[in-house]
């Protein structure tokens, strides 16, 4: 298993390796790997000659210093887990100083308004941080294909926009949400839930499924009220937002147009642990 900690060493390796191999698949992560990540890695292994997984907790995408401090850092365990999928995986775990070529700072991106919806409203500057780190990672890794989970659906749309803006010749592959047996979407943050919170967190996916089942028979206002009520009726989770958004631009829908596609998005807190999820509605 090769682990590179500098852009320079990774690039030298890629230059040599790509003389004999043609495609580079890339799975960017912030570590604390779980089965959701591994499903992306396995898909990437099936579709590419070289597979690179980055493990980098990106400071510029955290708008909350406590969240950044609390983010789990488990590189050794992550490497062991990746080895189970393949010992040929290349791990890229740079320092912030090396990747950002100095002090980490975000570029101000215009993602055409996508950055101002949902996560953008609640996490100011988050998508500039994501865009910036991915620009540096893409430049270092030069992937043919890069893999992202649909749990961060808004992020996935932003990444598609980023590769257009930066003219990166990279195919962005969106992968279905990987869920725990009772429905909770896999996330590194799940590890920070208490046993009871983790068990009861199935309410998030159950609520989304309920919305999907009633989509088309209830109005957007009624569905919004239904979700608010679900979270008012229990004490473990606090609803930050629930929205039905147009797939085209992720703008909040107030009513449904029959020819458009929609998705429901949710963010909740369990104490200070923030969980997000989403579901296609039509
Ligand atoms: O989804 C994540 O884990 C991060 O936002 C990413 C894409 C690795 C960028 O830091």
Q: Cα of 30 to ligand 1 centre, how many Å?
A: 6
- What percent of the chain is predicted at pLDDT more than 90? 95
Summarize pLDDT for 159-181 with one digit per residue, the tens: 999 999 999 999 999 999 999 99
Same domain for 165 and 194, yes or no, is no
- What is the mean pLDDT of the segment spanning 134-158? 98
* Domain end among 123, 148, 175: 175
- Report which protein residue has its CA nearest ligand 1's atom 8: 29
Q: Is 130 in the pocket of ligand 1 (CB under 6 A)?
A: yes
Same domain for 104 and 14, yes or no, is yes
Q: What is the pLDDT of residue 22?
A: 87
Give domain status of residue 180, yes or no: no
Give domain status of residue 183, yes or no: no
Same domain for 136 and 210, yes or no, is no
Q: What is the pLDDT of residue 240?
A: 98
Same domain for 168 and 195, yes or no, is no
CATH number at residue 127: 3.40.50.620
Same domain for 133 and 226, yes or no, is no
Q: What is the pLDDT of residue 19?
A: 87
Closest ligand 1 atom to 152 CA: 1
Give domain status of residue 217, yes or no: yes
* Domain end among 175, 198, 215: 175
Distances (CA, A) of 198 to 150, 201, 241: 20, 5, 19
Same domain for 171 and 194, yes or no, is no
- What is the mean pLDDT of the segment spanning 264-278? 97
Give domain status of residue 200, yes or no: yes
Q: Is 133 in the pocket of ligand 1 (CB under 6 A)?
A: yes
Q: What is the pLDDT of residue 20?
A: 84
pLDDT at 130 over 90: yes
Same domain for 138 and 237, yes or no, is no
Summarize pLDDT for 202-235 with one digit per residue, the tens: 999 999 999 999 999 999 999 999 999 999 999 9
Q: Is 28 in the pocket of ligand 1 (CB under 6 A)?
A: yes
Summarize pLDDT for 86-107 with one digit per residue, the tens: 999 999 999 999 999 999 999 9
| 3-state SS, one letter per residue, for the chain | CEEECCHHHHHHHHHHHCCCCCCEEEEEECCCCCHHHHHHHHHHHHHCCEEEEEECCCHHHCCCHHHHHHCCCCHHHHHHHHHHHCCCCEEECCCHHHHCCCCCCCCCCCCCCHHHCHHHHHCCCHHHHHHHHHHHHHHHHCCCEEEEEHHHHHHHHHHHHHHHHCCCCCEEEEECCCECCCCCECCHHHHHCCHHHHHHCHHHHHHHHHHHHHECCECHHHHHHHHHHHHHCCCCCEEEEEEEEECCCCCECCCCCCCCCEEEEEEEEECCEEEEEEEECC
Q: What is the pLDDT of residue 38?
A: 98
Q: Which of 37, 127, 133 to probe ligand 1 with, by most ligand atoms within 8 A of CB? A: 133
Range of the domain at 169: 2-175
- Report which protein residue has its CA nearest ligand 1's atom 3: 29
Give domain status of residue 109, yes or no: yes
Same domain for 72 and 111, yes or no, is yes
State the pTM of this model.
0.96
- Report which protein residue has its CA nearest ligand 1's atom 6: 29
Model confidence at 63, pLDDT cuts 50, 70, 90, reads: confident
Same domain for 38 and 78, yes or no, is yes
Q: What is the pLDDT of residue 236?
A: 98
Q: Is 152 in the pocket of ligand 1 (CB under 6 A)?
A: yes
101: left (phi over 0), alpha (psi -120 to 50) or beta: left
* Structural domains counted in the chain: 2
Give domain status of residue 239, yes or no: yes
Same domain for 90 and 197, yes or no, is no
Please state which of the ranges 19-23, 24-28, 86-90 shows the lowest mean pLDDT: 19-23
CATH number at residue 226: 3.30.1300.10
* Domain end among 140, 175, 210: 175
């Amino acid at each position: 298993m090769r682990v590179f900690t500098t852009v320079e060493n990774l690039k030298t390796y890629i230059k040599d390796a790509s003389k004999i191999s043609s495609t580079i698949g890339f799975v960017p992560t912030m570590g604390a790997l779980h089965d959701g990540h591994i499903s992306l890695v396995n898909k990437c292994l099936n579709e590419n000659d070289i597979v690179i997984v980055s493990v980098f907790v990106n400071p510029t995408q955290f708008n909350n210093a406590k969240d950044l401090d609390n983010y789990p850092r488990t590189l050794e365990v992550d490497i062991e887990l990746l080895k189970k999928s393949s010992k040929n995986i290349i791990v890229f775990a740079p320092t912030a100083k090396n990747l950002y070529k100095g002090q980490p700072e975000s570029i101000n991106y215009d993602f055409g308004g996508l950055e101002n919806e949902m996560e953008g409203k609640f996490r100011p500057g988050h998508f500039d941080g994501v865009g910036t780190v991915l620009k540096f990672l893409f430049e270092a890794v030069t992937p043919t294909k890069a893999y992202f989970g649909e749990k961060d659906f808004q992020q996935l749309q932003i990444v598609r926009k980023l590769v257009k803006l930066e003219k990166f010749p990279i195919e962005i592959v969106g992968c279905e949400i990987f869920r725990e047996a009772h429905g909770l979407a896999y996330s590194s943050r799940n590890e920070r839930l208490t046993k009871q919170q983790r068990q009861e967190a199935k309410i998030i996916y159950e609520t989304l499924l309920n919305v999907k089942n009633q989509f088309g028979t209830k109005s957007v206002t009624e569905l919004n009220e239904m979700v608010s009520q679900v979270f008012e009726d229990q004490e473990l989770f606090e609803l930050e937002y629930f929205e039905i958004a147009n797939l085209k631009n992720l703008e909040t829908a107030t009513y449904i147009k029959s020819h458009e596609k929609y998705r429901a998005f949710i963010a909740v807190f369990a104490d200070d642990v923030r969980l997000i999820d989403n579901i296609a509605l039509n």
